[in-house]
Amino acid sequence: MIQIDHQRCGYCGSCISVCPVEALSLSDAYLTVAERCTSCGRCVAACPVTALSLPEAQAGPATPLRHHYDVVVVGAGPAGSTAARYAAQAGLSVLLVDRRQEIGAPVQCAEGVAYEQLRPFVEPDPRWISATIRKASISCAGMPGLSASSEASGAQGCVLERRVFDRALAELAVDAGARCVVKTQATGLLLEGGAVRGVRLEGLGGRQEVAARIVVAADGVGSLLGRWAGLPTRLPPRDLMTCAQYLMAGIDIDPECTYYYLDETIAPGGYAWIFPKGQGRANVGLGVQSDLAEMPPVEYLNRFVERYRFLAQGSPVCLIVGGVPVSRPLERPIADGLMVVGDAARQVDPLTGGGIANGMTAGRLAAEVAVEAVEARDTSAAFLARYGQRWSQSLGRKMERNYAFRQRFPVGQRASERFMQIFAMAVSSSK
């Protein structure tokens, strides 16, 4: 049977079009081959990215240390691209790697962010802004009278088009001098006496080992890089918000208002949201605490949509699923030769689940420390510890405090006026 390299496959369907026995099939982004495959090889020739091979073909050896960079950043989300950009801007040689075929896609986010959090990094650009937000409405459905709304005079925040936004951040990194590769996965760390000295990569460029003075792990909620370096990144289920969201069309809502629903029957341990995206479209989603969920989040989401007429009259045009770490940030997001940033370092706001701007802040701090470490020729954990300290001094303390609030108001007590006030404060500083 034909062998499929799923990391390389671009799900284009060319192979299916030439297969004489209908042995290949594609379900969204996953290609499978049936036993009736005759290994005729037509699909191998049709594949634009050499994702298919004949059974006798052997995987070649890894290309040994062809490249050397000051910094390799794994993950081109907001945290990684920002780290790559500032490190390259300061003159370091930087490689930015992402396993995705298209940076920013598929979107796993409700896309809300405050302008004041973005401006230190980028000027808002209409190319990646779907809606400007001036109001927030927070309600405990089922508890009439317990609702809060805020209206600011100016534009508070926006709902992004992350597909475009994430790519724009990666482009800024490239403009600053970083090299970026896509569809390339980090499959391991190069370790020397326990210190990180580079990464193993697999993807379009084959298998490679790339040396680096510093590796920045920006590989998101499912991060493995930190774990490979021995950091305790595993989340207890109570610290994972598992989410489902529809991008819905045809719904009639205030296009400048974000809506939050704190209600254990709608989203146990979490909340539901409606973030407008303009022209009758909105991100309608929810996150549930994974140890409290009695059914999959997508079921809670379907119930939420059915519960409100103005939602039920619209239609989903895209389903988004994802996880948000709502734990304390990693206490030591460093190891010898490694810094961990963004969701990978659990630097998300544990109350709201917002992590875009936090990740960008951490990315910039990690880049600054990388520059100092390369100059000092010292990439030990003891030197890189200043990254963790600066993170704590900037946003880390606030995240610790918000985590403590989450603990202080266990489920059941969250539908209280006090919790709503705290939640409203967290929302208004992040949207």
Ligand X SMILES: Cc1cc2nc3c(=O)[nH]c(=O)nc-3n(C[C@H](O)[C@H](O)[C@H](O)COP(=O)(O)OP(=O)(O)OC[C@H]3O[C@@H](n4cnc5c(N)ncnc54)[C@H](O)[C@@H]3O)c2cc1C
| Residues 180-219 close enough to bind ligand X by CB under 6 A | 185-186, 218-219
Q: Applying CB under 6 A, does 73 fall inside the site for ligand X?
A: no
Residue 1's nearest CA partner among 14, 26, 19 is 19
Q: Report DSSP state, residue 357.
A: H
CA 55 from chain centre, in angstroms, equals: 35
At residue 203's C-alpha, the angle toward residues 201 and 204, to 5°, is 130
* Contact between 395 and 403 (Cβ < 8 Å): no
Closer CB to ligand X, 314 or 359, in the complex: 359
Q: Applying CB under 6 A, does 333 fall inside the site for ligand X?
A: no
Number of residues lying near ligand X (CB under 6 A): 38
Closer CB to ligand X, 163 or 307, in the complex: 163
| Residues 237-276 close enough to bind ligand X by CB under 6 A | 243, 245
**Smallest separation, CB 157 to ligand X (Å):** 9
Q: Applying CB under 6 A, does 161 fall inside the site for ligand X?
A: no
Q: How far apart are CA 428 and CA 431, in angstroms?
A: 5
Q: How far apart are CA 241 and CA 236, in angstroms?
A: 11
Beta-carbon contacts of 425 under 8 Å, excluding residues fewer than 6 positions away, are: none
Closer CB to ligand X, 161 or 343, in the complex: 343
Q: Which helix (H) or strand (E) holds 420?
A: helix 417-430
Q: Applying CB under 6 A, does 297 fall inside the site for ligand X?
A: no
Q: Applying CB under 6 A, does 113 fall inside the site for ligand X?
A: yes
Q: Applying CB under 6 A, does 157 fall inside the site for ligand X?
A: no
Look at the block and give the residue holding tokens 């045009």: 317
| Dihedrals phi, psi of 299, to nearest 5 degrees | -70, -45
Give the binding range for ligand X (CB under 6 A) out of 19-27, 91-99, 249-257, 390-398.
Answer: 91-99
* 354, 366, 422, 426: which one binds ligand X (CB under 6 A): 354
**Smallest separation, CB 150 to ligand X (Å):** 17
* 8, 80, 96, 267: which one binds ligand X (CB under 6 A): 80
Q: Applying CB under 6 A, does 329 fall inside the site for ligand X?
A: no
* 44, 87, 109, 176: which one binds ligand X (CB under 6 A): 109
Q: Applying CB under 6 A, does 324 fall inside the site for ligand X?
A: yes
* 138, 158, 356, 371: which one binds ligand X (CB under 6 A): 356
Give the binding range for ligand X (CB under 6 A) out of 310-318, 352-360, 382-390, 415-423.
Answer: 352-360
Closer CB to ligand X, 44 or 108, in the complex: 108
Q: Applying CB under 6 A, does 87 fall inside the site for ligand X?
A: no
Whole-angstrom CA distances from 89 to 67, 86, 260, 341, 364 are 20, 5, 39, 18, 11
Q: Report DSSP state, residue 394.
A: I
Q: Applying CB under 6 A, does 110 fall inside the site for ligand X?
A: yes
* 157, 268, 276, 285: which one binds ligand X (CB under 6 A): 285
**Smallest separation, CB 75 to ligand X (Å):** 3
Q: How far apart are CA 77 and CA 348, in angstroms?
A: 14
3-state secondary structure of 280: coil
| Dihedrals phi, psi of 206, to nearest 5 degrees | 85, -155
Beta-carbon contacts of 294 under 8 Å, excluding residues fewer than 6 positions away, are: 268
Closer CB to ligand X, 33 or 51, in the complex: 51
Q: Find the helix packing angle between 356-376 and 381-391, rounded to 10°.
A: 150
Q: What is the largest CA-CA distance in the chain?
A: 70
- What is the residue type of 220? G
Give the binding range for ligand X (CB under 6 A) out of 1-9, 26-34, 76-84, 87-95.
Answer: 76-84
* 8, 53, 96, 111: which one binds ligand X (CB under 6 A): 111
Q: How far apart are CA 329 and CA 400, in angstroms?
A: 7
Q: Applying CB under 6 A, does 343 fall inside the site for ligand X?
A: yes
Closer CB to ligand X, 33 or 320, in the complex: 320
**Smallest separation, CB 199 to ligand X (Å):** 8
Burial class, 9, CB count within 10 angstroms (exposed 0-12 / middle 13-18 / buried 19+): buried
**Smallest separation, CB 352 to ligand X (Å):** 7
Interacting residues with ligand X (CB under 6 A):
74-80, 97-100, 108-113, 185-186, 218-220, 243, 245, 285, 320, 322-324, 342-344, 348, 353-356, 359
